[in-house]
Chain A
Amino acid sequence: MAGETADFRVPSPRLWVARQVQLAAVAAVLAVVLGGGCWAAYSPAAGLRALGVVLISAAAAWWSLRRRVRAWGYAERSQDLLVRRGVMVRRLSVVPYGRMQFIDVTAGPVDRWFGLATVQLHTAAAATDARIPGLSVPEANRLRDRLAALGEARSAGL
């Protein structure tokens, strides 16, 4: 894919930990609800089967999530920002600094607990998807400030 020669940075390793925590939480809730529900409604064997299904799906989700988190990358070039993501469907976005309209930095509760944030760039196009999750907070702030400064310096009208 394009830009392989560019110097791609990856999100913080804590992102993987945070995603695992989220996955474990969801799997635990589902296991209790479905397993317990089947146990109570039908039979202990059905409850165990439901638990098995939840565990297998959680394992599959874990494996796919691991690949996806690894595949995320971003590179700040001199004139534009490259963002790559995706495992099954690989995507690479090129967003020129002059076209950025605004940058927003968000952090959900799990992200905040791990000291992470997500940076998303917006242009005038709704189809632009330049989203970098799992950046450490100082890195996210640095990126945001740098992008904002570069965007202002090179902005063009519509």
Chain B
Amino acid sequence: MSAPSAGTAPGRRAATASGPDGAGASSGAGGAGAAPRPADDGHSTPPWSRLHPLSPLIRSSRAVVAVLLVLVPRPLIFGDRGSLVVELVILGVAVAGAAVSWLVTRWRLHGAELQIETGLVRRQSIRIPLRRVQAVDLVRPLGARITGLAEVRVVLAGQGVGHEGLSFLTLAHAQRVREQLLALAPGPAGPAAVVDGVQDAEPAVGGWSWPGARGKPRGIPPSGSPPLVTTSTARLLASLLLSLPALALVLLLVGWGIVTARSGDAATVAGLVPVVLGFGGALGRRLNYQFGTTATAGPRALQVTSGLLQTRVETVAYDRVQAVRWVEPLLWRPLGWCRLEVDVARQRDAHEEPAANPRLDRALLPVGTRAEAQRVLDRLLPAADLTGPVRHRPPRRARWQKAPLSYRNLGVWADETLLVTSEGRLRRTRVVVPLAKVQSLRLVQGPYARRLQLATLHVDLAGRGGWGAVARCRDQAEAALLLDTLAARARSARRVGMPT
């Protein structure tokens, strides 16, 4: 979180939520009338807007809380006038910095670009071409939820570009801006997409047209439509209790209990506290990010809302899905539960607060029955079948010498458009990848595998590594053949999806 300071341009840029005529008051109740109007003659540029005045406060909410808890009460308690004055001065400087940072930041939608300007001493001007926008999320940290604000986070494609955002706007305005951005972002057929049968015109330079005005905004399901699947809270809590951190915690407590009973000395509880906090923190984080995950199906995307303290609204566009992963951990299998994760072609950078473990916030269905997961999968990739038995197991020699535990569940099969890999013993995992999304293929063979004439095939997808599909312990010759076959199929699958 950037502290409100005047000279530096904060990593987050923000615009206030005033109306297009530049009026200062944030118009949450403005409704349709306060949305920026399309340019009349196509040549006049829309005016700049500002963010909500409380934005710097919420962006650095942790610092504010620290200030309030530490700086202010101390001189009052100890009655030290001198340090009180000093701390008030510091507070005043911080507030002035926040006010300046709010004043110098402004944004607008112009010429199919999102333009954000910020910074006092070092002016920073950011232009985000809406063509490159993959998704637009709505994020509401706790401070924003208390004050009725929200952040519009724009997610871009490819490497080297972080996410940008408008933090913070009032909730209604943020939702409107999100709809506008999604309407202007490219659809599946390329830059010019068809909305309701009408070909969108390319936005003219110097002005911008608002295609959404002619049709529904892309990707947003109609409000009030029934959700596709909801994560029930009871099941989520039960799944947390059946997870690894919880089990480890229970074992630890039991062990401590035994040791204490034997020795009769309970002073070791102090050493237990940080461990309990650590495990409890991990569980609490999971609960926070997965609480109430609900997926609603729209015409071109799934809208996913989730979160307990910090709520998020994300869009998972069908044509951006690179991989879907179906996971069945050991403890959930008797209950028939599973977990569905999706990998979307977007860049996740290091600043993103949500999860230390990126898997946490990629789960479309953190825990659900097999039927629910199948429903979501049918929506995302209609032709995929992940529940059948394993096909094309590795050769026999891989079982005893290379992968004794997971051999039963290893397999890979592919048709013209999809590739499915299966692996894992304790956490049975199946990954389905649309072949059109494959970036590159790799064949890896360690020394031991070479002796057994086995090789592992990796399928790479866009974004940070570690999530692609892996076909382990295949026969050497078969893996080579598979490499060529997949490369050819991926090429033809790409060609199918390309505009003519």
Contacts and interface: CB of A to CB of B under 8 A. Distances in A.
Nearest to B347: A124
Interface string B168-211: 00000000000000000000001000000000000000000000
A129 B442 contact: yes
Interface in B138-166: 157-159
A124 B462 contact: yes
Interface string B314-325: 000000100000
Nearest to A128: B440
Contacts of B159: 101, 122, 124, 126
A147 B232 CA distance: 51
A90 B450 contact: yes
Interface string B437-465: 11111111111001000010010111111
B497 interface: yes
B440 A3 contact: no
A88 interface: yes
A92 interface: yes
A124 B161 CA distance: 12
B292 interface: no
A94 B441 contact: yes
Given A2-B443, A128-B440, A92 B483 contact: yes
B491 interface: yes
Interface residues of A, number: 30
A98 B450 CA distance: 31
Contacts of B484: 2-3
Nearest to A157: B190
Contacts of A98: 491, 494
B219 to A, nearest CB: 16
Interface string A137-158: 0000000000000000000111
A149 to B, nearest CB: 18
A148 B345 CA distance: 23
Nearest to A94: B441
A96 interface: yes
B487 interface: yes
Given A79-B491, A124-B159, A125-B462, A95 B440 contact: yes
A88 B447 contact: yes
Interface in A93-135: 93-96, 98-99, 101, 122-130
B476 interface: yes
Contacts of A95: 440
Contacts of A99: 438-440
B484 to A, nearest CB: 7
Contacts of B441: 93-94
A96 B445 CA distance: 21
A123 B440 contact: yes
A130 B441 CA distance: 11
A52 to B, nearest CB: 29
Contact of B468 (A96, A127, A129): A127
Contact of A156 (B442, B465, B476, B498): B498
Contacts of B345: 124, 158
Contact of A3 (B157, B480, B491): B480
B479 interface: yes
Nearest to A122: B159
A126 B499 CA distance: 26
B447 A156 contact: no
B499 to A, nearest CB: 9
A123 B439 contact: yes
A70 B140 CA distance: 55
Given A156-B494, A158-B345, A128 B439 contact: yes
Contacts of B340: none
Contact of A89 (B157, B320, B447, B497): B447
Contacts of A89: 444-447
Given A94-B442, A128-B439, 10 more contacts: A1-B480, A79-B487, A89-B444, A92-B483, A124-B345, A125-B462, A125-B465, A127-B466, A128-B440, A158-B437
28 contacts: A1-B443, A1-B455, A2-B484, A3-B483, A4-B480, A79-B487, A79-B491, A88-B446, A88-B447, A89-B446, A91-B444, A92-B483, A93-B442, A94-B442, A96-B494, A99-B439, A123-B439, A123-B440, A125-B462, A126-B463, A127-B458, A127-B465, A127-B466, A127-B468, A156-B495, A156-B497, A156-B498, A157-B190
